Amino acid sequence: MTAPLRIAVVYPDLLGTYGDGGNGLVLARRAEWRGLDATLLQAVSDRPLPDADLYCLGGGEDGPQVRAARTLIDDGTLARRVAEGAVVLSVCAGFQIAGRSFPGATGDPHEGVGLLDVDTVKPTGPRAVGEVLVDVDPEVLGTVPTLTGFENHGGATSRAEGVAALGQVVAGVGNGVGDGSEGAVHGRIVGTYLHGPVLARNPALADRLLSWALGDVALAPLDDAEPESLREERLATVGGKRRRRRRT
Amino acid sequence: MREGLASATTRVVNATSRRLGRGQGTVAGGRAGLRLDPRLLEHLSAGRQVALVSGTNGKTTTTRLLTVALGAAGDAVVSNETGSNMPPGHVAALVGTKARRVVLETDEVYLPRVLASTAAATVLLLNLSRDQLDRTNEVRMIAGSWRAALAAAPHTHVVANADDPLVAWGAGAARDVHWVGAGLRWQHDAVGCPSCEGRIAFSGGGWSCASCSFARPDPEATLVVGPGDTARAEWADGRSAPVRLALPGRFNQANALMAAVAAEASGVDALAALAVMETVQEVAGRFTVRSFGDVRARLMLAKNPAGWDELLDLVAGADAPLVVSINARIADGADPSWLWDVPYERLAGRAVVATGDRFRDLSVRLHYGGVRHTAEPDPVRAVTLAAAAITAATDGDSGAVVDVIGNYTAFHDLLGVPA
């Protein structure tokens, strides 16, 4: 009997605006459905962050985002657990605070937790809002089919040299720094702008994170009829729109 | 001259659009009129007593309750009853009438602009929570825009929900505020203090920030929930009355109390206003029972997590199949990620039929939430499917009414199906 896999949704009270708490639920269910013991923790911001094997950070509003970053830095648990090998999925505002610096409501820079060597500033253009398709870099994550998701952010995120992108956008904006990149990956820390939630829309990415957290084990396949049907429909709808736009 | 031409154009375009069957004829004409005279709403509001109703949930119902209450007091009242709650809809409502009293449901993002145009005597603020984030971005930004607009409107009486910290922030700089303890079930958007970014703590019916002096204002009227579905309105000055409605739900009792206090701010006795609201049987199709062939269905609207939180409570207890219809068109918001903020787990044990343009997104949500469901893309067929399941489970009794909850356009799609 091994210890249960601990999955923590980080600060749902501050970073819970865009439905990203669903990522934690997806991971817990996919573990349970394989007969694994998993505990899903809702880690609220007025308590010390619990030790976990897999942390999920989601999107939030500008003010609460600043508070979440400050609280995580002061708490120290996340950085310690990452050094000990914990897996992190960070989305949107969560992705930005996992980086080195990010802009507050007025654009002034704030210190991030520094798990990823990325820096975010306010973009010169409008907010990036809409459906996204991302071709994942196989060097970084192995074989994961094209990701689908929805972005809604006002950030331009640049990666330091040596930090891989999660992939290249086929539709949508992504990191918004002109190179077509989306997200960032360093070790077992993944950052992305994709909501949906991203793991609900992309079961293969969920399983990659689960596999990492369990020590690179191979996972038995699940019946993914519902998520696969959604993925196919999104790929066809969003990809189709993009092709039509290109032709005109 | 220009105003006259713009008004005439609004009327003609609306009539034409109605005749062509392109909707209820409230937006196209208003748009055309505003193009000819950008200050048309200001001109049409001049000399009238305007009340604006805004917030994330309950706008349409509260607008109707306030309209009925003011109308019962004797004056002619005009309102944008079709739910077109942006300036073109406001213009269309006002253009053909001389009614002195006006009640306008107002989109929360447009409230500052509409307040400036109408110089409203009364503004009623219900609640603020996440909704259509691809269009509105942040509820906190909306609260901030309300605050600035109301600070610049010293002659406006504000009626505001004291239990919602974001509303309290939005109303807090106004000169005259009538605070109402209307309750707030969904508190997930109000944890961060809008004043200092500290943490808001809710306890014992109140709330306060741990880091600054921002706290729940003392209400002049409070909704006190009693046993069963009963509730009372209690005023700080000692007045008290039962809140009896034909409309279901605690949230509608809260809407009624807010409307009664707004009626009083407009010079109508609050208790008389409350009493007359019982006559409202149905608002813009919400909770209406419709026939689809020989199947009957009760249509309900929930368009965001806070609205769902209330409605899931209302439909709890029954075990008949429930139809849930989800779209992600412009009026719904293009991103259905919010489905993951709705506690659909509460439906576990009950059969659900998932339908609407985005039935697949709903289906994935229910899959991970452990809710047994079938998927049927066509909403009318979904209703028929649920009815058949009820009939089978009740030994052929076909008199049952199927509960259907849809988000904005999904609800209106079903409401618009010819009987």
pLDDT, position A178: 94
Query: Hey, are the CB atoms on A200 and B368 less than 8 Å from each other?
Result: yes
Q: Tell me which residue has tokens 């700089």.
A: B173
Whether the full predicted model's pTM is greater than 0.90, yes or no, is yes
Q: How far apart are CA A220 and CA A33, in angstroms?
A: 10
Q: What is the layout of strands, in order, in the sheet containing B373-375?
A: B289-292, B295-301, B401-406, B322-325, B352-355, B373-375
Examine the pLDDT at B7 and tell me if it is beyond 50: yes
Examine the pLDDT at B388 and tell me if it is beyond 70: yes
Helix or strand (DSSP H, E) at B403: strand B401-406
Examine the pLDDT at B23 and tell me if it is beyond 60: no
Following DSSP, what letter does each residue of A117-157 receive, concatenated? -EEEE--SS--EEEEEEEEE-HHHHSS---EEEEEEE--EE
pLDDT, position B25: 57
> Long-range contact list for B192-201, CB < 8 A, 24+ apart?
B192/A13, B192/A14, B192/A61, B192/A63, B192/A64, B192/A67, B192/B140, B193/B165, B194/A63, B194/B140, B194/B143, B194/B144, B194/B165, B194/B166, B194/B169, B195/B169, B197/A63, B197/A64, B197/A66, B197/A67, B199/A45, B199/A46, B199/A67, B200/B165
Residue closest to B137 by CA, chosen among B286, B281, B333: B333
- Closest alpha carbon within chain A to B187: A13
* DSSP H helices in B96-219: 111-118, 133-136, 139-151, 165-171
B179 phi and psi angles, rounded to 5 deg: -85, 140
Is B3 near chain A, with CB under 8 Å? no
Q: Tell me which residue has tokens 């191979």.
A: A218
Tell me the shortest Cα–Cα distance from B319 to chain A, in angstroms: 24
pLDDT, position A248: 43
Facing A152 at nearest CB: one of B133, B140, B369 = B133
**Predicted confidence (pLDDT) per residue in B398-415, tens digit:** 678 999 999 999 999 999
Is B208 near chain A, with CB under 8 Å? no
Q: Is B275 helix (H, G, I), strand (E, B) or coil?
A: helix
The total number of residues written for chain A in this structure:
248
pLDDT, position B1: 58
Predicted-complex ipTM score: 0.96
User: Can you tell me the mean pLDDT for B334-340?
Assistant: 96
Q: How far apart are CA B356 and CA B376, in angstroms?
A: 8
Per the CB < 8 A criterion, the answer to whether A24 and A56 are in contact is yes
Q: Is B401 exposed, middle or buried (0-12, 13-18, 19+ CB in 10 A)?
A: middle
Query: Hey, are the CB atoms on B365 and A195 less than 8 Å from each other?
Result: no
Provide, rounded to the nearest whole percent, the portion of chain B with pLDDT above 70: 96
Is B105 near chain A, with CB under 8 Å? no
Tell me the shortest Cα–Cα distance from B168 to chain A, in angstroms: 17
Q: How far apart are CA B45 and CA B116, in angstroms?
A: 11
Q: How far apart are CA B186 and CA B130, in angstroms?
A: 10
Query: Hey, are the CB atoms on A61 and B191 less than 8 Å from each other?
Result: no
CA angle A70, B305, B414 (to 5 degrees): 155
Say what angle helices A225-247 and B359-369 make with each other, to 10 degrees.
150
pLDDT, position A241: 73
- The average confidence (pLDDT) of chain B is 92
Residue closest to B193 by CA, chosen among B127, B150, B140: B140
Please report residues of B whose CB lies closer than 8 A to that of A21.
340-341
B83 — pLDDT class (breaks 50, 70, 90)? confident
Tell me which residues of chain B, numbers 60 to 89, contact chain A at a CB-CB cutoff of 8 Å. none
Q: Per DSSP, what are the bridge partners of residue A167?
A: A136, A182
Query: Hey, are the CB atoms on B335 and A195 less than 8 Å from each other?
Result: yes
- Closest alpha carbon within chain B to A153: B137
Examine the pLDDT at B21 and tell me if it is beyond 90: no
Per the CB < 8 A criterion, the answer to whether A57 and A97 are in contact is yes
Is B365 near chain A, with CB under 8 Å? yes
B395 — pLDDT class (breaks 50, 70, 90)? confident
Going residue by residue through chain A (248 aa), what tens digit of pLDDT does each one get? Answer: 478 999 999 999 999 989 999 999 999 999 999 999 999 999 999 999 999 999 999 999 888 899 999 999 999 999 999 999 999 999 999 999 999 999 998 889 999 999 999 999 999 889 999 999 999 999 999 999 999 999 999 999 999 999 999 999 999 999 999 999 999 999 999 999 999 999 999 999 999 999 999 999 999 999 999 999 999 999 999 987 766 655 54
pLDDT, position B81: 87
Q: Per DSSP, what are the bridge partners of residue B375?
A: B354
Query: Hey, are the CB atoms on A62 and B140 less than 8 Å from each other?
Result: yes
Structure tokens at B4: 């006259």
CB neighbour list of residue B160: distance below 8 Å, 6 or more residues apart: B124, B125, B167, B168, B170, B171, B177, B178, B179, B180
- Closest alpha carbon within chain B to A223: B367
Q: Is B366 helix (H, G, I), strand (E, B) or coil?
A: helix
Query: Hey, are the CB atoms on B364 and A201 less than 8 Å from each other?
Result: yes
Q: Tell me which residue has tokens 């509960």.
A: B403
pLDDT, position A1: 46
Q: How far apart are CA B102 and CA B141, in angstroms?
A: 27
Is B378 near chain A, with CB under 8 Å? no
**Predicted confidence (pLDDT) per residue in B99-141, tens digit:** 999 999 999 999 999 999 999 999 999 999 999 888 777 899 9
Q: Tell me how far CA of residue A195 lies from CA of A187, B234, B338, in angstroms.
A: 22, 44, 10
Query: Hey, are the CB atoms on A16 and B341 less than 8 Å from each other?
Result: yes
Structure tokens at B316: 């709890």
pLDDT, position A245: 58
User: Can you tell me the mean pLDDT for B337-346?
Assistant: 96
Handedness of CA A132, A133, A135, A136 (dihedral sign): positive
B319 — pLDDT class (breaks 50, 70, 90)? confident
- Answer whether the bond into residue B343 is a cis peptide, omega within 30°: no
Q: How far apart are CA B180 and CA B161, in angstroms?
A: 5
Q: Is B116 exposed, middle or buried (0-12, 13-18, 19+ CB in 10 A)?
A: middle
Facing A19 at nearest CB: one of B194, B341, B369 = B341
- Closest alpha carbon within chain A to B140: A61
Q: Per DSSP, what are the bridge partners of residue B283?
A: B286
